[in-house]
């Protein structure tokens, strides 16, 4: 006779310890990020780097715009995907110091889908396209860098000069920017 109760208990114990498969079960966030990354369709101006190939929740994105103010620049972003993903937006930070209305000097990014407009149906692909769009069309109406936003609004030519000066490596006002041209 099969001892059904003991089999159920053994299965619960195996699931709790991960013994049934020999490793821990993947979390909902890991399953979703795996799906998102498998379906990722990067534009030619973007690439990803996984410092730890076993950790899909932390990776880097490199954007190298081929048009607009930031043409020929190379900008690196870090993505930290929490266990609450896809219900919580990933944390994205720009590692490259950039003169941009929507990215402050600490690397914080002002992109609506990373904050109040995040929805679980959005994917990593959506975020990447949103970041790329910020380089094509900076938004001075929702700034993190108010000085850059004001310059873009009031004197587009001076803004463009500041962007180029910062990407070449140099000072804009009293702030020094590392070279980020490819």
Catalytic residues: 110
Rg of the chain over Cα atoms, rounded to whole angstroms, equals: 22
Measured CA to CA, the distance from residue 161 to residue 69 in angstroms comes to: 9
What dihedral angle (degrees, nearest 10) is formed by the CA atoms of 146, 151, 153, 154? 130
69 burial type by CB count under 10 A (0-12 exposed, 13-18 middle, 19+ buried)? buried
Q: Is the Cβ–Cβ distance between 74 and 64 less than 8 Å? A: yes
Q: Is the Cβ–Cβ distance between 62 and 41 less than 8 Å? A: no
Q: Is the Cβ–Cβ distance between 150 and 126 less than 8 Å? A: no
């Amino acid at each position: 006779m099969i001892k059904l109760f003991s089999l159920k208990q053994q299965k619960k114990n195996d699931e709790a310890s991960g013994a049934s498969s020999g490793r821990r079960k993947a979390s909902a966030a890991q399953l979703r990020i795996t799906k998102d990354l498998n379906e990722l369709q990067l534009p030619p101006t973007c690439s990803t780097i996984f410092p730890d190939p076993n950790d899909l929740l932390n990776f880097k994105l490199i954007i190298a715009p081929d048009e607009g103010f930031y043409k020929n620049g190379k900008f690196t972003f870090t993505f930290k995907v929490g266990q609450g993903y896809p219900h919580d937006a990933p944390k994205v930070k720009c590692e490259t110091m950039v003169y941009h209305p929507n990215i402050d000097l600490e690397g914080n990014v002002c992109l609506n889908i990373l904050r109040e407009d995040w929805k679980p149906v959005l994917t990593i692909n959506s975020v990447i396209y949103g970041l790329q769009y910020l380089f094509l069309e900076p938004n001075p109406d929702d700034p993190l860098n108010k000085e850059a936003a004001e310059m873009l609004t009031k004197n587009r030519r001076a803004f463009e000069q500041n962007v180029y000066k910062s990407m070449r490596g140099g000072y804009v006002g009293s702030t020094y920017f590392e070279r980020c041209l490819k």
